[in-house]
Amino acid sequence: MKVLLAGLVSCLLISSSAFARDDRVKFPIEPLLSSSKAKQALLSVPVYFAGQSHATPSNTWGEVTTSKKTNAFNKSDQEACEWVLLSAIKALQESALKKGMNAVIDVKSNYKHQEFSSSSEFECGAGKFLAGVALKATLVTLP
């Protein structure tokens, strides 16, 4: 009986992981960054995604990374992903300030260490219960 019960529990655990969702989805950057939600959440440190033009840096600190997750339960993928992107961007902005820099440039998605570079979209890992965004960027001083 114990063997049968152990087998049943094992089957349930294995099958539940088969139903786990970890989709890679992409959403536009600009509508979010223009929103009142972003204006309330983010700092006044300029952020430029890969390919967006900016002044030539007068000083470079170097590349940094951040990885953030948020509760996605009962939220659309876009809603959860936008929220966690704002959290990740704010972490980059805070890093810039701590290092004495005034801007974040060349921001790229780096979900599960797979780089996605775009000036108009970001990549997010969306699941049933969690959404995650990983970013890498360069901290700089702009004139």
Query: pLDDT (tens digit, 9 = 90+) per residue, 17-51?
Result: 445 788 999 999 999 999 999 999 999 999 999 99
58, 142 in Cβ contact below 8 A? yes
Contact 28, 128 (CB under 8 A): no
What's the pLDDT score for residue 15? Answer: 41
Residue 91, domain CATH = 3.30.110
Q: What is the 3-state secondary structure (H, E, C) of 17-83?
A: HHCCCCEEEEEECHHHHCCHHHHHHCCCCCEEECCCCCCCCCEEEEEEEEEEEEECCCCCHHHHHHH
- For 83-91, what is the mean pLDDT? 98
Percent of residues, the chain, with pLDDT higher than 90: 85
8 part of a folded domain = no
Q: How far is CA 10 from CA 21, 48, 97, 125, 132, in A?
A: 20, 48, 49, 27, 28
Which residue range forms the structural domain that includes residue 73? Answer: 21-141
Domain assignment present for 11: no
Residue 64 lies in a domain: yes
Residue 14 has pLDDT above 80, yes or no: no
In a domain, 55, yes or no: yes
pLDDT in tens, 104-117: 999 999 999 999 99
What pLDDT score was predicted for residue 3?
52
Of residues 89 and 21, the one with the higher pLDDT is: 89
Amino acid at the residue 6: A
Above 50 in pLDDT, residue 67?
A: yes
Is residue 76 domain-resident? Answer: yes
Is 3 domain-assigned? Answer: no
Specify the pLDDT at position 129. Answer: 96
Q: Is residue 5 part of a domain?
A: no
- Predicted pLDDT of residue 137: 98
Mean pLDDT of the chain, nearest integer: 91
Domain total of the chain: 1
